[in-house]
Every structure is written in C-alpha cells, then in structure tokens.
Amino acid sequence: MQRDGQDSQPAWAQTAAEVLEWTEVSIEEGLTAEEVTRRRDRFGPNELHEAEGRRWHEILVDQFTSFIVLLLVVAAIGAFLLGDTIEAVAIIAVLAINGAIGFVTEMRAVSSMESLEEITEIHTRVRRSGEDKAIPAAELVPGDIVILGAGDIVPADLRIVESSRLQVDESALTGESVPAGKTSERLPEDIPLAERENMLYKGTYLTRGTVEAVVVSTGPDTELGQISASLQESVDEKTPLQKKLDDLGQTLVPFLLVVATIVLVSGWLRGQDLFLMVETAIALTIATVPEGLPIVATLVLARGMWRMADRNVLITNLGSVETLGSTTVICTDKTGTLTENKMTAAVYELANGSVEVSGTGLDTTGQFRHGGHDSDEPRSPVMRAALEVGVLCNNASVSETDGETTVTGDPMEVALLTAGLKGGIDRDELLESRQEVREVAFDPAVKMMATYHEGDGQYVVAVKGAPEAVIDSATRLLTDDGTEPLSADERAEWVQKSEQMAEEGLRVLALARKEVDETAEQPYEDLTLLGLVGLIDPPREEIRSTIQGFQDAGMRVVMVTGDHAGTAKNIAQSVGLVETDDAEAIEGDQLDDPERLSQSDRDRFVNAPIFARVSPENKLDLIDLHQSAGSIVAMTGDGVNDAPALKRADIGVAMGQRGTQIAREASDMILQDDNFESIYHAIREGRIIFSNIRKFVLYLMSCNLSELLTILIAALLGFPLPLLPLQILFLNVVTDIFPAFALGACGGSEDIMDRPPRDPAEPIMTRTHWAELGLYGGLIAIATVGAFVIGGGMYAGGMETDEAVTISFLTLAFAQLWHVFNVREITSGILVNEVTENLYVWGALGLSTLILFGAVYLPGISLALSTAPIGLDGWAVVFGMSLLPLVLGQGEREFRRRFGTPRLGTRIENALRG
C-alpha cells in the first residue's frame, strides 16, 4: 500500500488477515470518510498518469516552427519594409489561419480521446463505514473494501479476502485467453504475475462468481499504471510531412535568390530604374514563397482526419495521416477483428454421427442438421442430453429484453447456452426441475468443470472440459439405444476425432454426465461420454472483401494470434488470407530469439501470413523483423499487453470499444467501431491526402515559377517589365490560394487503391515532378511573354503601355487558373477526373475570375495595380494565350496516359546521363 517504503512482502505473499492488518481496515466496516480523505491526499486519485502528449500551448507553438513558416515570416517583414502592407497582412493572415486550423484539429483529437476515456469511466461498489455503495472508481484509495460480481471491471489492484466461484479474464494484462481461477490463499513471493491467484488487477474483469477484496494499489502504482508509465516516451515533434515541407522550403531559397539576382542585375544593366528593379526582385522573392503551402497542407490533413472520424476512425496526430498512405504490412489479431468475437457452437460429434447447428453469434434460432435432414429441435436423445449438459455445466447468462440480447460470462459458455435455446432448452427453466446443489470449478490441472443437480432420487453430474481429460475419465458412451462400455481403442478414436475438429479450426469441448447418490462423490470418475462440441468464432461478413482490397492495394495482411495454429489457419483460409489449407503457420516460440535467425528464416517469417501461439514479446520481434526489411507496419491490438507493440509499430491501431485505455494511449489510430474495414478506408484516405498535397505543391510551385520565368525571360530578351511588383504580389494571393485550397479537397482517383504503397522515403517532389514543374512553369511563362509581345503590338504606345502590361498580367493569371486541371493524376481521364469532379475547384475558379475582372474594372483596385481596360481584342489574346499551357499540358499527360511512355522525369534523367 505504501508508495514510499512498502513492507518487504507483497500482498500476494501475505495472508488475507495480514493484508487487512497492513492496510488498517476491517472487512465488515471498511474505511471511514475521514480516513478516505486522508489517504486520497496521500496517494492521490485512482487514475493513471496522463499520457505524455503535447499540451495546448505546445500544440499552438508547434504550428509556427517549420522552416517554410519561418520563411514566410521573413517574407512578411520584407513586404512591410517595402511598404507593401497588403501583401504583408495577407501573409500574416495566412500564418494565423494555418496555426488556428492545425491547433483546432489537434485539440479536437485530444478532446476525442478524453471523450473516449469518459465513456469508459467505471463505477464500483465499495464498503465504507459499514455500508455498501457505488462510487466512481477514481475515488478508491488503498484500504478500501471492494465488492465485485460477474461482469464487473476490476477498478484497482486488489488482494482477495473472500470469493465464491470466482474466475477472471486477465487476457488484457497477461494475454491468456482462458479465464483464471482465483483463491484467497497465500502464495510464494516470487510467483509470476499470471499465476497470482489471490490478486485482482486493474483493467481485468470477472467472468463469474463474486468477491470481496481490499485495495492494495491505486492509479500509477497498479500493474496497469506501471505499464502505462513505461510507455510514456518522448517522440520526435516533427512529422514526416513537416520534414518534407521543410526540405522543400530549403530547396527553394537558393533558387529564388539566384533568379532574383539575375532579374535585378539584368534590368539594371539595361538601364531600368534601380529602385524599380530592387523592388521587383524582392517582390518576386516574396511572391514565389508559397505562403499557401503550410495552410493547405494543414487543411488537407485536418479534412482527412474529419473524414476518417466520419468512418469511426480517430487519428491522434496529424503526422499519422501521412504515414497511413505508406503502410505496407498490417499485422492484425484474429478474435474480434477478423472474427465477430461471438463464439458459436457449430457442430456436435455424437455416437450416432455429426449434428450441424445453424445460426451464428447470439442468434437463438437455428436448425439441427443430422443425417441430411433439418429440424427445429434435436431429434436424437443423445443430442438433447449434450445440449442439457452444456446448459447445466455453465455460469454464463443470456437474456432478451425488448429485442435486445444481453450476455454475461465466458463466450464459450454463452455459445453453449445459445445452442440450448435453439433446441428449446432454457437454463432457468431447466434449473427449476434440476436445481444446482454443488459446483466444482474449472481446475486447470484436471481441465474439467462439473455441476451437481437434483434428479429423480439421485444427483446428475454435468461435466465439460478438454476432450482428452473428459474422454480419459469416461468409461461408457451414450447412444440412441442407451449406454455402452467405452474401450481404450474407442477412447483413442474419440481423441482423434477431437484433434481432427481442432485442425478444422474448431475449439473443442467434451461433454459427459453421470448419476450419483451423494454430492460428496468424486465428479470425474466413471463418466458417460455424450460427445464433442466444436465451437467457432465466425469471421466478419465484410472481412474477405476487405482483405482482398488490401492485397489489391499492394499491402500484406498478417494474422497474429494466440490461438492454436489449426484454428488460425482455418480462419485465415475462410477470410481469404490464404488460399489453401497447407499454408504455413509460424509458432510464436520460433521468434523467441530473433538475433540468431538465419537469413532464410528471416525471409520466411517476413513472408509468412499466419503467426499462432504468439506472446506480446513475439509481437515486438515480428514488428522489428518487418521494419528491418523496409516495411511500414500497422499493428492492431486492444489489451494492455498489446501496448508495447502498438507503440513500436509505425501505425498502432487500437480498438475503441473493447480496447483498454493503455492500448488507446499507445496507438496512433483508434477504431471506434472495432471494425477492421475501417483501416482500409483510413489508408485510402491517407493515400488521397498525400496525393492532394502533391497536387497543390506542384500547382503552387509551377505557378510561382511561371512568375519568376516571365520576368527572367523578359529581362534576358531586353523587354520592359511585363509585370509590376504589386501585380506579382496580387497574383500570388489570388491565383495561388483559392485553387490550391480546392485541390486539397479532391476525392482521389478511382485507382488509388490499385497501386502499391508509396515509398515513405519518397519526397513530395520527385524527379518527375520537378520536370513537370519546369515544363508547366515554362509553358505559362512563354505564353505570358507572348501575350505581352502581342499586346505591345496592338497599342500605339508600344509595350510600355498599361494595356500591354494588363494583357500579360491577365494572361498569367488565367493561365495559372486553368493550370489547376494539369495536376490531375496521370491515370485519370482528360474530362472526367478527380479535379474536374471537385466542385470546390469550380467555385475557386469562379471566385478568382470575378476578382480578376474587378482588378481591371474597379477604379480603386485598377489604380493600385496600374491596370487598364483592354477591349475585346485584348481579352481574345488573354484567353487564347492563357489556354495554350492547358492544351499543351493536357496533351502531354494524355499521351503518357494512353501510350504508357516513360515518365518525363525518367526521360530527362536518362538524357542527362547520356
């Protein structure tokens, strides 16, 4: 109990009386209110330490620490110094909006996590001052007496004082799927956690029985709290996308400085006004810094998170959204993820043959197929006897209220009750005539459980358990004609039948009974074997198509389960994970020493689709094997023991409904509906997000490059400036921001999940994209300079007239607007694609067009920008020349799409190599 100097012996190594004395409490009275207050002040609330995440002010600061944002700050300062207040204010506004969106989005994720924790907040019964009452579990203190029953969650670490028929599901902590039997007896001090039968641990839950126990540890001092604390590691604050954007910004700086210097020097040498050239060079430098880049990137990521939230996927940080698009391997558990986590009694193997039972999960209606005939009720007395034993030797419950089915207890026992209801056998009704008078709890040593029931002057003993144990204890076999002796050879045949059923993916139990005169008689001697029951956790209906979707997208799904290899292989085949039943299932113990694995074994394990009998440590080794092979690994999990693997994986995926708090805190993504299919939609969204980011980066950069090249070409040809500094800044705000925003909302091409995952090391701009950037920027610049030359010839004043500059200004502006259609996916159609189907794009084009007309015809704006009306001939030049880059760009993309020619970047690279 003491946080700062606990007694030398832990609670499990003391008797219950010693623990009560140590915690200074009476089992009958509990603690007083005054003592509770004193202990809460000393030990604090029964809550885990908050996960080490970024606080609100840290999240806010993080929005302004990237290199490209700092570059924009410098640009804003430069604009202020030049007197371009409008541009400076615009940049600052962009920075503020970007910061606000990123802050609100990440805080929204934090809020969602807190909401999940509120949903999972539990209450517990506690005895204080001699009265039992329900309180929030967070208010427990060491020394509290807690009273729990079947279905209750253990709220703290407890030492058992008194219990009855107690079993606890500790799978979330130990990974052991079979409920653990409990006792109040003293245990050795060095016994491992999984064998501490007199302890209950926070986060586990009771599957049956009742218990009174004393709290010995709360909050961070619990086993769960210590695991939680071990997971609180500092993480790199910058996401992969932020790093890529920073690299892009750093690539821009030297290029901008070189071009600006050329423009300044060439204009000055031609006799242009020095101040005008300095102003133009600075304006170009400021304008070509893509201020829309960080805000659009943040918006796209935020929109992706919101879209995923609509599909019940909670992303806990923006960086994970991008990583999703690179995922290559998905390691998933079986129970509850690939399967429904609803055990079903599917087949009974009896002396007179097999009986198949229809209906899955909690469906209480079904038919019995025996000998090729279906019936609503069991036709065989042996089948009815087997159903009755499964119902009697049972501690679960199934009830229906207003059409809602409620179950408590072990899923296997629930399945036996459900099978009984299909045959018209209700446990409560059956117990009225066969009252239970004794229970012998399941003993892992003998692998059986028995209950005694009153019968016609005798007691009926109902037994269920592991096939080999029950069959070995049986001396007779029930048939339609009565009981017959069971020979040793026949026992061996029944054991073989059970093994065959297990190989078919079934969990197998044996059922038996006998009649005795006294309840004191031994339960497991001279049994009459009734038969075997095979249970299966059916696959989710949508799993096969989901796995096929992952495979079509170039991703591998790997089943990682603690179940028997035969069961795992059967489920893997039924969901389409493997095609044949001879697929290899790697046992977890083969991963125990990964450092000594040969290269051939490492290759075999990396390519294996099934891992069975896997421990939590094995999961870490498996993740390391895949990551060392260059894979981006997503791992699903729900228990406390899954948390280290969720933390280690590139994308940790926790279950929101059945997942523990520790698992959720360790993960990057939470499935609020526990549906495996949601991962597919999240990965698709991750791919769309990166594709959209690449689109608007290519768009922004090529637009900015076109402005640079327009001035540079004019300077090299000895022309006057075709664009004025303020016009450059105006275009940068109008034509960059709105279409780029719209590109961020593209829905993705139809084939986005038919491609292999993107290499995570791949930059935003590959060689191909840089080549496209040069092509599109050059086309727009040439068209603009061409329009300037034509405009100069149209007006008597020559190329220095306002009309000629207005034509080049508008040509550049509209060419940039039409250029939005050039950034479609190369595999998309020319007319119908993700850009043309995006209504936001059309809205952005319409708004920008109105603004451009206003720049020419509204007196205040036209005066500031030095624009002038240009007439119909001028507009014909503007639209004719501005459409030229679109036509040529679309032609080049369509040619590549139709004829599959090498990528532009590859051709240029090969040409440079000679």
- What positions carry a catalytic annotation? 333
The rounded distance, in Å, linking the Cα atoms of 889 and 872 is 26
366, 378 contact by CB (below 8 A): no
The rounded distance, in Å, linking the Cα atoms of 178 and 887 is 68
The rounded distance, in Å, linking the Cα atoms of 111 and 305 is 13
The rounded distance, in Å, linking the Cα atoms of 224 and 106 is 27
Q: For residue 231, with 0-12 CB atoms within 10 Å meaning exposed, 13-18 middle and 19 or more buried, which class applies?
A: middle
Mention every residue, 6+ apart, whose C-beta is less than 8 A from residue 850.
Answer: none
What's the distance, Cα to Cα, between the start and end of the chain in Å?
77
874, 808 contact by CB (below 8 A): no
The rounded distance, in Å, linking the Cα atoms of 420 and 52 is 49
The rounded distance, in Å, linking the Cα atoms of 342 and 181 is 22
Query: HSE (CB half, 13 Å, CA atoms) of 751?
Result: 9
The single residue listed with the structure tokens 């004082």 is: 161
Q: How far is CA 640 from CA 171, 471, 662, 812, in A?
A: 9, 36, 6, 59
If residue 801 lies in a helix (H) or strand (E), which one and from where to where?
A: none
Q: Considering all CA atoms of the chain, what is the largest pairwise distance in Å, rounded to the nearest integer?
A: 123
**What's the CA angle centered on 476, arms 472 and 477, to 5 degrees?**
100
Report the SS3 class of residue 342: coil
Q: Which of 45, 52, 39 is closest to 220 using CA atoms? A: 45
Structure tokens at 711: 């001035």
Q: Which of 260, 100, 297, 85 is closest to 737 using CA atoms? A: 297
643, 637 contact by CB (below 8 A): yes
Mention every residue, 6+ apart, whose C-beta is less than 8 A from residue 813.
Answer: 731, 734, 735, 848, 852, 882
User: Which residues make beta-bridge pairs with 211?
Assistant: 148, 163
Q: For residue 88, with 0-12 CB atoms within 10 Å meaning exposed, 13-18 middle and 19 or more buried, which class applies?
A: buried
698, 772 contact by CB (below 8 A): yes
Strand pairing category for 199-200 and 157-169:
antiparallel
The rounded distance, in Å, linking the Cα atoms of 683 and 636 is 14
440, 463 contact by CB (below 8 A): no
Report the SS3 class of residue 449: strand
The rounded distance, in Å, linking the Cα atoms of 637 and 653 is 6
The rounded distance, in Å, linking the Cα atoms of 239 and 650 is 12
DSSP state of 902: P
Backbone angles phi, psi at 518, to 5 degrees: -130, 145
Q: Which of 124, 286, 394 is closest to 704 using CA atoms? A: 286
Structure tokens at 667: 């993960």
